[in-house]
Amino acid sequence: MDSREGHEVLVALLRACAGRHAEVHALVHAALGRQRHALLRLTNHGYWETCLKELMTAAAPYHNLCAALVHRFLSEGVMEHANGDQLLRHCFATMPYQHTMVLVEHALINMGDMLESVSGSKCLVECYAAARGEQLRAFQETLLTHAHIIAMGEHSNYFMQHALEHGDVETRRRLLDRLLGDGGGLVELALDCYGSYVAEACFQRTGMPCRVLAALLRLHDTQLAWLVRGKYSNYVVHKLLDFCKHTFPVETMNLAWRIEALPRHVTDDMYARKVMRVIKNLFPPRYNRMYHA
């Protein structure tokens, strides 16, 4: 595992020994017996990571070997490792869930800390995707309870975006309800540096853009003005208009008319210009000639 040539030999051995418990057992325990060298230490090298994945694949049919590998990964901090998400994805893809659910449980217990780092958030995505039964429900309830905090975190917003795109329909609907609220929740997200990414995901990734469009139409003019001229929120508004103009033309035009009718100091703001360019393209040419005249 320490050299490119040795990696090729080990991969060939593991593949040749597949299905032969005694030989696979010897190879896996030889790797685990390297106490002076962490298994995850060198996974930034592609060939080292390939060896680990081959070890997992070979160990998958055997409960004791799966348990030994999973325990070693946890003891070496796989959830904090730069490539931890890729290793977890392979774990979940190759090993039976009863052997890997301890990884999901670890993620649930340590979710607060994991949400504060890039590697932790990526690992949470993999654990959420793999979770089943009570563990999946625990993930869903945590997302719903702390929706806005997670959505506006520097790293945790990535996890929320994933949940909005890949959760089941009911979970995506409930998350949208929680994030949008009566429209004020959307304003809070869109005005935030990181929350604005989640606000965009609400209509780009959930398959329910009409609900976001309806939330904007419910806002009063002051809130709408905040969004149009916001440093981050103007992107949310102009991308929503562009995203919905073909699928929901009537509602999109209603929103465009409301924005166009805002006071001139709002529509002339430097951050509002992208929104106004999109709106100009929505209006028929005859109206544009009249407006500029």
For 203-256, how does the pLDDT look when each residue is reduced to its tens digit (9 = 90+)? 999 999 999 999 999 999 999 999 999 999 999 999 999 999 999 999 999 999
Q: How confident is the model at residue 293 (pLDDT cuts 50, 70, 90)?
A: very low
Higher pLDDT pick, 83 / 193? 193
The pLDDT tens digits for 146-161 are 999 999 999 999 999 9
* Dist. CA 144–CA 131, nearest whole Å: 16
The count of domains in the chain is: 1
In a domain, 203, yes or no: no
In a domain, 197, yes or no: no
Residue 292 clears pLDDT 60, i.e. is over it: no
* Predicted structure pTM score: 0.88
In a domain, 272, yes or no: no
The answer to which of 10-14, 104-108, 206-210, 252-256 has the lowest mean pLDDT is 10-14
In this predicted structure, what is the pLDDT of residue 233? Answer: 97
* Dist. CA 220–CA 184, nearest whole Å: 10
Query: Smallest Cα–Cα separation from 258: which of 286, 287, 285, 222?
Result: 222
Tokens 């080990």 -> residue: 10
Q: Average pLDDT, stretch 66-76?
A: 93
Q: How confident is the model at residue 132 (pLDDT cuts 50, 70, 90)?
A: very high
113, 163, 196 from 182: Cα distances, Å: 30, 21, 17
In this predicted structure, what is the pLDDT of residue 278? Answer: 93
In this predicted structure, what is the pLDDT of residue 47? Answer: 77
In a domain, 1, yes or no: yes
Cβ atoms within 10 Å, residue 97 = 13
Residue 79 clears pLDDT 70, i.e. is over it: yes
What's the whole-number average pLDDT of the chain?
A: 91
Find the domain containing 93 and state its range. Answer: 1-21+31-110
In a domain, 220, yes or no: no
In a domain, 89, yes or no: yes
The pLDDT tens digits for 18-40 are 889 999 999 988 888 865 567 77
In a domain, 218, yes or no: no
Would you say the C-alpha torsion 150, 151, 152, 153 has a positive or negative sign? Answer: positive
Higher pLDDT pick, 36 / 77? 77
Q: Which residues contact 10 (CB under 8 A, 6 or more apart)?
A: 1, 27, 51, 54
User: Read out DSSP for 159-186?
Assistant: HHHHHHHHS-HHHHHHHHHHHHTTTHHH
Residue 288 clears pLDDT 70, i.e. is over it: no
Residue 48 clears pLDDT 90, i.e. is over it: no
In this predicted structure, what is the pLDDT of residue 7? Answer: 83
In a domain, 99, yes or no: yes
The answer to which of 210-214, 257-261, 288-292 has the lowest mean pLDDT is 288-292
Q: String of b and e for 194-223 (b: at least 16 CB within 10 Å)?
A: bbbbbbbbbbbbbebbebbbebbeebeeeb
Q: How confident is the model at residue 1 (pLDDT cuts 50, 70, 90)?
A: confident
Q: What share of the chain is helix, strand, coil (3-state, %, to 5)?
A: 75, 0, 25
